[in-house]
Structure 1
Amino acid sequence: MKNKSSSVNSMKFKKAIAASLAILILLAFTGCGTSSNSAATESPKQEDTSTSAATESPKQEDTSTTSSSSSVESNEKLNNLYQQENQIFADHKNAWDKAFGFMSKNTGDDTMNENYADFLANTIESNKDSFSEEEYNTLSKDIETIRGIEEEITKLEKEIAASDSSSSSSSDSAESTGVFHGFKGKDLDGNDVDESLFAQNKVTVVNFWFSGCKPCVEELSKLNELNDKIKEMGGEVVGINTDTLDDNQDGIKEAKEILKAQGASYKNLTFNSDSTVGKYAGNIMAFPTTVLVDKDGNIIGEPFMGGINDQSNYEQLMKQIQSILDQE
């Protein structure tokens, strides 16, 4: 096995349910990934789309330590819940593998806005005749257990988002705005890309995702529609799949397959994880995350968390894009 850089390892730990280690890094955002880099679109949901904000603490000097400790504890609880959820899928693997096969065929707009337990339940119900009575009863029971776990996950995700939002300082924000300065990388076909990519656009929408992130995959087709729309306005959508960094060929192959399956043809990039933007990507723990970048490679405004296949999220992002275009 090839040795990876520390930033790659920390990114994998976040996705491998080890946030208690990853939280020791100064984080700009919070959330969690998936249990395996090789997980495909059928992987259990382990993403954060919360955008809750927290109030500022009057004791600024003590906030960092307290927040870090609280985040470690919350992430440990969150990861335990993820492990419980994953164990359910593992315990009844054959039945769930069959269910996941139907899910790939039922990812329309109506299902994308459901919570995860409802999504699972509706998939099972709509394909009830395809399961034996034993399989159906097993899956139904599992879904009710998952529903309870998801409620706890949602609560903890909001607490983590609020905690890390309050602990992020203005200096952290200022340092992160120029992460695309001097950018160098490649697209997934191996073609060189640099910061001129941003210079030629009035605004560039950069979407961070990974292959095992269900909400990330679900919004890819919508991002492709957005790309077609804003290209007429002088903008462009660019994807960054964190599984592809450091020219990870397995990750690149999987990402390209997913993009093709979702009808997403816009540019996706890979680069070194020890670069400035690589370190920025390594600190993202809430996926999907989308940022707006100006001609000079500066991130404008706050990162946008959550899938834009949700209409309200899409409209909010479009307002931010339009406000930048209006300034041109």
Structure 2
Amino acid sequence: MNAKKILALMLCAMMLLSLAACGTKDNEKKADMSSNDSAMTDEQKNAEEALALHKKLMEQENTILSQNTALWEKVFMAADKGMTLQEDGKNYGDFLLDTIEGAKDQFTDEEYEMLKESATEISNIENKLTELENKYPEIMQESIDGDMSVPAGSDMTNPPDDGSMQKFPAFEGKDLDGSPVKSDELFSANAVTVVNFWFTTCNPCVGELSELDALNKELAKKGGALIGVNTFTLDGDEAAISEAKDVLAKKGVTYQNVYFASDGEAGKFTTNIFAYPTTYVVDRNGNIVGDPIVGAITEKKQAETLQKLIDQALAADMG
């Protein structure tokens, strides 16, 4: 994986189960560390001040993880292979510390100490974020809506200039059991297909799996279906497929998950997704209906928006 993609996934993984979405923000904007440290010691007078601090703290985490990306890539890959599921409610900095310790032999003494120091800083930030979220629960969705979005200008979010509908990229792949899957056959067989992009160590992604399975059962009654695309499984990575199947089984998920080549049209499309989970609605002709749903459908806003797009696709199919 390239460094930008690794960083995006690292930032996704750092969200707690209580957050609606995993995603990245602009890494070129560097947080003022000393200012944030001072702000962390001050009592916030209202939700507006708490929200401002919440955003600053998230920017500070972003900055930490945007530095030394090659080292963080090693940490992330260690977490990918060895820590499929983060414990519910566990501080993400502590999760990183455990992962760094497990991959200690991959780093020099200097790198190891630097990573430990950074992960400890993240742990402290996460503690403050938790305090803010517990005291001002209303700030959480505001912070997510303001910062956890798909970067402007991403190809996946911009419809064609001529007003026509954007096609979901074609693919020929397999499901996690090895059965062949072709996108044209998949979409044409369903009145509507919901495509959910996720990855194994993204807790909001994992947190919505049960709801997605229930949605799939409802779609089946209307001639539709839901499929998942676990980005770790692209190119048929056997270890990633095994881990994904384990997570899906633990969550009781029965809907189909598929993978395809990373260098194909759909693979390149997937690389341009920098917020997780992200969900698309696709009609029978393979057209993307509306904008992608960024964030878990466990949140009311995302669930309602997704349902509207599904209803739109079903209505058009009947017409």
TM-score tier, shorter chain, comes to 0.5 to 0.7
**Unaligned 5+ residue runs, structure 2?**
32-58, 76-82, 93-122, 134-138
Could you tell me how far apart the structure 2 residues matched to 1:233 and 1:250 are? 35
Q: CA deviation at 1:316?
A: 2.2
Residues 252-274 of structure 1, C-alpha deviation per residue, up to 9 Å, x if partnerless? 11111111111111000010011
What corresponds to 1:20 in structure 2?
A: none
Could you tell me how far apart the structure 2 residues matched to 1:244 and 1:173 are? 34
TM-score between the two structures when normalised by the length of structure 2: 0.61
What amino acid maps onto 1:73 in structure 2? E
Residues 302-321 of structure 1, C-alpha deviation per residue, up to 9 Å, x if partnerless? 11111011233222211211
Q: CA deviation at 1:174?
A: 7.3
Q: CA deviation at 1:301?
A: 1.2
> Bigger relative contact order, structure 1 or 2, given CA contacts below 8 A and separation 6+?
1
Of stretches 187-196 and 75-84 in structure 1, the one that deviates more from structure 2 is: 75-84
Q: CA deviation at 1:322?
A: 1.0
Q: Map 1:143-158; keep pairs closer than 5 Å.
A: 143-147=126-130, 158=146
In percent, how many aligned pairs have the same letter? 34
Could you tell me how far apart the structure 2 residues matched to 1:15 and 1:166 are? 14
Could you tell me how far apart the structure 2 residues matched to 1:323 and 1:225 are? 20
What amino acid maps onto 1:144 in structure 2? N
Q: Map 1:83-162; keep pairs closer than 5 Å.
A: 101=87, 103=89, 143-147=126-130, 158-159=146-147, 161=149
In the alignment, structure 1 residue 191 sits paired with structure 2 residue 146: no
> Paired residue for 1:227, among 209, 216, 238?
216
Distance verdict in 2 for CA 1:232–1:246, change over 3 Å: same
TM-score between the two structures when normalised by the length of structure 1: 0.60
Could you tell me how far apart the structure 1 residues matched to 2:303 and 2:251 are? 18
What amino acid maps onto 1:192 in structure 2? P
Contact 1:211 1:217 in 2 (8 A): yes
What corresponds to 1:316 in structure 2?
A: 305
Cα RMSD after superposing both structures: 4.4
Between Structure 1 and Structure 2, how many residues are aligned? 238
Residue 316 of structure 1 aligns to a residue in which SS?
Answer: helix
Q: CA deviation at 1:179?
A: 3.2
What corresponds to 2:252 in structure 1?
A: 263
What amino acid maps onto 2:6 in structure 1? A
What corresponds to 2:282 in structure 1?
A: 293
What amino acid maps onto 1:199 in structure 2? S
> Paired residue for 1:34, among 1, 5, 10?
10
What corresponds to 1:216 in structure 2?
A: 205
